Amino acid sequence: MRVLVTGCSGFLGSEIIRQLLHRGDEVVGLSRRETPDLVRQGMSHHRGDLTDPHYVQRTIDDVDSVIHTAAVAGVWGPWKHFFQNNVIASRNVLAACREAGVRSLVYTSSPSVTFDGNHQSGVDESVSYPTRWMCHYPHTKAIAEQEILAADQPQGLRTVSLRPHLIWGNGDPHLLPRVLDRARSGKLRVIGDGENVIDTVHVINAAAAHVAAVDQLASDPDDAAGRAYFIAQDEPVNCWQWIARLCDRFEVSPPTRSISFRAAHTIGTVCETIYRVTGRKEEPPMTRFVAAQLAKDHYFDITAAKERLGYRPTVTLEDGLKTL
């Protein structure tokens, strides 16, 4: 197949590229940054900005499938920045796919599109979107997800949305460094009772889910298309025990001090208000979203991904930790 991957320079996008190349697919990558290592492995690269519709239309052409991983993540920042990069960019990708007659579009979403600050304990894809949003990232990702799923057409472009949760693994530039830096500096606190259970997903498994979605949309689109899927290790863990194991792996002292969820949520509310009023651009030390993510359950039933996409995690939690 000839597959185009947006966000090819990212942690997830680059692993998807490697898996596609390894099995012999022809791969085109789009990103703002250069990716010489992937080009050496056989990927064709087009550098540009997905918020530019002309660039997107020029580059999305003569491909069988598009995997759209590019996005701006984070818990703080102006609405326009998130909307442009997560919604407008996705609309441009969607329009270009339609124009070029692409057969399938796999969108990388996030479980946070359904997170309202309360426990999510083993929920499946029937859980609804929130009516109020705690930050711009999940809100804009949800808008893009809904538009891409609504664009699914049995006689035209077939679409799915994948929701990988807390992607980690060797070379992770985001999740692990953030946790370890906060623990190392002594700024990380156990929030809540320390008993919340979470899902994660190793980057190899997350990438394999995207490849499986491409294949399923090619072989049996009616069974898979037009749906969102939670993607996880299928090994829920106690959040703070997992963080302690990560700290131990990198010889960092794990957090021992704690704070109640109510106190953390209040601090987050105050910090957000002060930063918003004063126009500060850096992320506050605490936000309501971060407080809830660190105190509440968020693990998922991935039966749909197993049955409809054929997804199976191949890298276990234990094996993944050994490679860090």
The CATH number assigned to the domain with range 2-167+200-232+298-314 reads: 3.40.50.720
Q: Is the pTM of this model over 0.85?
A: yes
**pLDDT digits 0-9 by tens, 179-237:** 999 999 988 999 999 999 999 999 999 999 999 999 999 999 999 999 999 999 999 99
In this predicted structure, what is the pLDDT of residue 75? 95
User: What does the alpha-carbon distance between residue 323 and residue 308 come to, in Å, rounded to a whole number?
Assistant: 30
In this predicted structure, what is the pLDDT of residue 10? 96
Three-state DSSP state, 192 = coil
In this predicted structure, what is the pLDDT of residue 315? 97
In this predicted structure, what is the pLDDT of residue 30? 97
**pLDDT digits 0-9 by tens, 234-289:** 999 999 999 999 999 999 999 999 999 999 999 999 999 999 999 999 999 999 99
Mean per-residue pLDDT, 298-314: 97
Residue 318 — very low, low, confident or very high, per pLDDT cuts 50/70/90? very high
Mean pLDDT of the chain: 96
In this predicted structure, what is the pLDDT of residue 228? 98
User: What does the alpha-carbon distance between residue 191 and residue 291 come to, in Å, rounded to a whole number?
Assistant: 7
- Going across the sheet that includes 2-6, the strands are 44-47, 26-31, 2-6, 65-68, 104-108, 158-164, 227-231
Three-state DSSP state, 143 = helix
In this predicted structure, what is the pLDDT of residue 74? 94
What are the catalytic residues?
Answer: 137
Mean per-residue pLDDT, 67-95: 97
Q: What percent of the chain has pLDDT over 90?
A: 98
Residue 82 — very low, low, confident or very high, per pLDDT cuts 50/70/90? very high
Q: Are 16 and 67 in contact (CB under 8 A)?
A: yes
User: What does the alpha-carbon distance between residue 111 and residue 137 come to, in Å, rounded to a whole number?
Assistant: 11
Residue with tokens 């997560």: 86
User: What does the alpha-carbon distance between residue 151 and residue 315 come to, in Å, rounded to a whole number?
Assistant: 33
Task: Give the H/E segment covering residue 164.
Answer: strand 158-164
Residue 110 — very low, low, confident or very high, per pLDDT cuts 50/70/90? very high
Residue with tokens 């049996």: 220
* Residue 88 buriedness (CB in 10 A; 0-12 / 13-18 / 19+): middle
Domain ranges of the chain: 2-167+200-232+298-314
Residues in the chain: 324
| DSSP strand pairing (26-31 vs 44-47) | parallel
Tell me phi and psi for residue 95, to 5 degrees.
-65, -40
In this predicted structure, what is the pLDDT of residue 35? 93
In this predicted structure, what is the pLDDT of residue 146? 98
Q: What percent of the chain has pLDDT over 70?
A: 100
DSSP 8-state assignment for residue 166:
S
